[in-house]
Amino acid sequence: MTMNRSRQADPAAPSATVPLRTVLFSMVVLWATYFVLITLRALVMDFGLQFELGWRRLLVTGVGVAFTIVLWLLLRLFDTKPLWIKISAAIVLAMPVAIAIGQVNHWVFQDMELAQEQRYAQKYNINLRRDESGNLLVDVPVRRVGPTELGGDGEAASAKDDVVDSEAVMIAPADTHTDFWRKLLDVALGRYFLLLAWAATYFALLAGVQASRSQWREEQFRTAAKAAELRSLRYQVNPHFLFNTLNSLSALVMTGKAERAERMIQTISRFYRHSLATEPTADVALKDEFDLQKLYLDIEAVRFPTRLVTVFDLPADLEEARVPGMILQPLVENSVKYAVSPVSRRVTITLAARAELDQLVITVSDDGPGVPQGGSHGLGIGLANVRDRLEARFGPDIGFTSGPVPGGYRTEIRIPLSQPLNRPMDHHA
């Protein structure tokens, strides 16, 4: 069973979601910051019982991370929604999560309230306790004065039977159901804004990921469009070449020149096998491109056996330089069509390459009549094809000049000089 490749995910494509590792890291950093700040506050305020408070605070922090993961799983459902929907979802969903964290905080620190009361009582040497109703009481010493004797001036001279007693004074009533929810909401609101801060961080990370994917998709579309353009230009080979070769082949057969016709058929086969073997958008070695043009000119030599002369000048150190496949084909075709075909004398077509600093310079020239005089011709079509392909491949800064010169016509290409990463090993070394 075959699968439509367009429906398969590209493994090189960036994910449209924030990676789990990044999400977890953001949660841990946020809650760790909360833990550090609360611990510093407890130290500054001298709450005491730091170890007992510390491990409970650490437990609540871990629970906070777990509940934040739950919030993330819910917010993921809105990843593809507009921003205002994401914000609304965060505002609504963060509240029940914050209340749940506040409830856990209450359970964990519930027994610490009594411990703090006892520590406070010991520190200030007072008696704190709670009655059966849960009211917080403090025992205050009270001195009860007995009967007194009056002196001569009418003032109390002494006191007898003074009694020192204590009286319980309520300093905090027991928490009611309303008080419980008030305290819970007070804690939950603090966690609520903490969760909203994390949600804002998550949305920022998500926006970055989505922007990166959009940029990648745009680049992919641009690359695909450029590849389509290159394929289109690559396949714009002059169909007259095929018609002319078939006519020449027919003439050879009709005149009984079977051996030359067979050789021409083999050359045509090699030419098309060579020209269609590579990916249309791929670069090829300059030596292969020159060999392809040799095959083409061998075919044309059957039509012009006495008029066509070819010269190839390719230095050995440039044989592996990379060029777009069949980039010279339209230029050589123009030389045959406008230099060899219209005259009866010998015409030399020269293909040459040289290196100048970091540039590869390729020239296709002939000593024909130059630009055809008068009338419309297709010389510019082939040149535009080559220029467009070079610009699509290397950008607008390529060098491309074409025009008549004394004694003929010359086209020059200047492109970056690039060699393959793995050059063939020299067996003569």
DSSP symbols for 163-219 = EEEEEEEEEEPPP-HHHHHHHHHHHHHHHHHHHHHHHHHHHHHHHHHHHHHHHHHHH
Q: Which domains does the chain have, with CATH numbers?
A: 15-114+178-223 (no CATH), 235-416 (3.30.565.10)
- HSE-up (13 A, CA, CB side) for residue 49: 18
- At 111, the amino acid letter reads D
pLDDT at position 355: 94
Q: 95: Cβ–Cβ under 8 A, 6 or more apart, which residues?
A: 188, 192
pLDDT confidence tier of residue 282, bands split at 50, 70 and 90: confident
Q: Are 285 and 319 in contact (CB under 8 A)?
A: yes
Q: 308: Cβ–Cβ under 8 A, 6 or more apart, which residues?
A: 297, 300, 301, 336, 340, 346, 347, 349
Q: What are the tens digits of pLDDT across the range 156-192?
A: 555 555 555 666 666 666 566 676 678 778 888 888 9
Quick check: pTM over 0.75? Answer: no
Segment of 130-144, 199-213, 271-285 carrying the highest mean pLDDT: 199-213
Residue 419 or residue 424, greater confidence: 419
Determine the average pLDDT of the residues in 296-309. 87
Instruction: Say if residue 360's pLDDT is above 90.
Output: yes
Residue 83 or residue 162, greater confidence: 83
Question: Tokens at residue 281, please?
Answer: 């958008």
Question: Tokens at residue 210, please?
Answer: 């989505």
Q: Indicate the length of the chain as a whole number.
A: 429
Distance CA 81, CA 398 (A): 45
pLDDT confidence tier of residue 219, bands split at 50, 70 and 90: confident
